[in-house]
Structure 1
């Protein structure tokens, strides 16, 4: 399969080149030339299959013969050596817990797969790949641990100072080895802007081979479709729920875009709810057709604090810039911090279940969608993107209780932070990257 740029002015490339480049030379995002389809017969054969078997079937469609089947199987088994539980809260309402990986966040799915794919392709090319990442929290920690010790790679993480949780910052800044952290005196949009500028800087490309591990990289997006397919098939098999709603916490919109891929591949998915916080540029677009990104607003659900989401370019590409077509598949709902806190409390009181802020946004958006559309009985599943401990202060303040920190994280909090503080100016990032190569 070949991959095109959303800006349509770069030559088509292979998956290897799309993975190792991250961003297309024209500044666009790579998309597959066509989204592969599963026939109804193929879908039926996957009902009852394991998560890893479903992942292999999807990956094989995108990768083709680029990686031998036995090596792809080993790669997938190595990536996804943890569970993906689906919890029933009440009749027709489910939570897919995507926080059982090593960094307790859904980003482990994409980052671990991308790391192994990058390492495989880098070894084939005999190159040292510098992975450049902007993060609002969980992406950076997942990438740090996903790429840690992967041969032929090194990682440079940019994160906004004071705008990630203490646990996230510890995960970002203590990996060491081939992982370097840059603490940016700005917001996530500043980090993302600087990363994008690096990818189109010809002077850097003379001495470095750069790629991205953000969801702008197509090979981080593809594995995120695995858990949509898994959940849709599990709900059908275990509960008789066909074509459920998916309520998706949405910040940079990579997660939602992966869901659209899964739906278009033929998996039984009904409709998406793009659950946002006050950073609601996509929600407003779906309602009006006018895209008007605004400066980032800091909220309780910090990983979704993105004013101008990168993956929106892919969504517009898939829907041919037609917002009415997008709205047939996706409903945008914005949730306030006050509603988020109230939801955390009510879910805990009703079900004895602890939700972190991003999951609570998804739950509240699902409630609002059902209420306004009258689809009260429509099966719905919300993606729980992080373990509550990753947002310890917000949870403990809201529930007025103490959350137990898992034993594997207690030692992490005692490690010494290692990060370089820089201003939100591209020349400072370029200078750091140039020094790294000396």
Structure 2
């Protein structure tokens, strides 16, 4: 298995080199040269596996034996040892057709832990094996930063800097990042929104001399290992269902902002999971819904919502989907991305729109509908949703019920992370101890303007170079 760029200007590389490169040196996103397929018979065999053993099987299709099996098994085991559920990701049944896959049982109570706990351990493994410094740089709309910091804090040979939009993440998300006192962690609170943070990150990764000098590594979903790790839970959720429930395929409703979570489902489907429908659930920052429903990919005015982790206009992983939609034609992708950069939008033909809608369904959830969904499911099932997970359920209600069969909606965060929104409808909750104790801890962060030069100055003062 070799890895290439969606824009075609990166020579095929191996698994570890792909992991370390993160964003392609040509500005594109890294993808596998070919996507391995898994037969129905193999899926039946995998149905008996634990989450950890299933991940080992799937990753082994992509790693080229660059990581010895015993080492990979240890990395995976260590990554999920801190999850509070013995199933790692429990599947909760709400009614005959709807199930919720709970992705929030990791150390920071968000789905990002599923991939980032593994990636943090993998970075530490590579740093030790190659005797090199790993300087991680990322942007977050809230959950990625907390999870990434949790995965590498205090680890030898690794430093991490995370940019987050000042005042535009939940209080708990902010505390999970900024109460970490380890010297290998730097939090930059940027006076802007997530797209501003992400734009600067992409510019820095595209600056090859700067990237090389400071050994920059990515932990955002621009890193394909993050996508691959997330694809495992689509296999797992499908295989956890009784054989009768999955006999005619399964549909998923997926809260997503950066297109990474749903692209992981798209990858799983291409690998062989019999997924009937992938519903993209978004909020009022609905560029992705308009792309799928109208064939226009164009950012509009930023809106603050009750689901801030999805308050994103420019979705990084959109380019990966565009690559496969374009028949893996890197030149066509590069041309379209240049067009988007020049014109600020992409328009797709009616024929193209029809093909997009064969792959994806989309539903946008407003603030009022989000809160109403939380209230209804609390009253009807005694099940408390966070606002992002509620968007997934609302999308199932609005776009999925017309389809017969089994639905799995992804619960992407614990409701305690977004108590500000839940209190608006009069619901009080008891915080898990690990969240409650955050409120008594001192914070450490640096507030910076939305200016590349100012952020570069902070990085140059923080990252140590390889000795």
Structure 1 length-normalised TM: 0.96
Q: Secondary structure at the match of 1:223?
A: helix
Q: Which residue of 2 aligns with 1:76?
A: 76
Aligned to 2:366: 336
> 267, 272, 294: which one pairs with 1:288?
294
Q: Which residue of 1 aligns with 2:176?
A: 171
| TM alignment of 1:11-410, pairs within 5 A | 11-81=11-81, 82=83, 83-177=88-182, 178-205=184-211, 207-237=213-243, 239-240=245-246, 242-320=248-326, 322-371=352-401, 374-375=402-403, 377-398=404-425, 400-410=426-436
Q: Distance in 1 between matches of 2:434 and 2:177?
A: 16
Question: In 1, Cα distance between the equivalents of 2:177 and 2:420?
Answer: 18
Give the structure 2 partner of residue 422 of structure 1.
Answer: 448
Structure 1 residues 357 and 199: alpha-carbon distance in aligned structure 2, compared to 1, 3 A threshold: same
State the number of aligned residues.
434
Cα deviation, 1:19-62, whole Å, max 9, x if unaligned, reads: 11211111111011111111222212101211111111111111
Quote how far apart the aligned CAs of 1:313 are.
0.6
1:201 is displaced (CA, Å) by: 2.0
Q: Distance in 2 between matches of 1:50 and 1:26?
A: 38
How far 1:110 sits from its partner (Å)? 1.0
- The 1-side partners of 2:284 and 2:266 are apart by 23
Partner of 1:436: 462
Instruction: Report what 2:2 is aligned to.
Output: 2
1:220 Cα offset (Å) = 1.2
Judge conservation of contact 1:294–1:308 (CA < 8 Å) in 2: no
Report which stretch shifted further, 318-327 or 88-97.
318-327
Q: Decide whether the 8 Å contact of 1:232 with 1:242 is kept in 2.
A: no
Q: Please report how far the alpha carbon of residue 237 of structure 1 lies from its aligned counterpart in structure 2 after TM superposition.
A: 3.8
> Displacement of 1:436 after TM fit?
1.5
Report the Cα distance in structure 2 between the residues aligned to 1:351 and 1:437, rounded to whole angstroms: 49
Judge conservation of contact 2:136–2:217 (CA < 8 Å) in 1: yes
CA distance in 2, matches of 1:48, 1:296: 45
Which blocks of at least 5 consecutive residues in structure 1 are unaligned?
none
Distance of 1:156 and 1:107 partners within structure 2: 17
Alignment check: 8 A CA contact 1:174 1:418 kept: yes
User: Which structure 2 segments of 5+ residues have no match?
Assistant: 327-332, 334-351
Aligned partner of residue 324 in structure 1, secondary structure: helix
On the 8 A contact 1:235/1:241 being kept in 2, the answer is: no
Give 3-state SS (helix, strand or coil) of 2:296's partner. Answer: coil
Question: Take 2:247 and 2:163, find their aligned partners in 1: how far apart are those partners?
Answer: 41
The answer (yes or no) to whether the contact 2:135–2:463 under 8 Å persists in 1 is: no
CA distance in 1, matches of 2:124, 2:2: 20
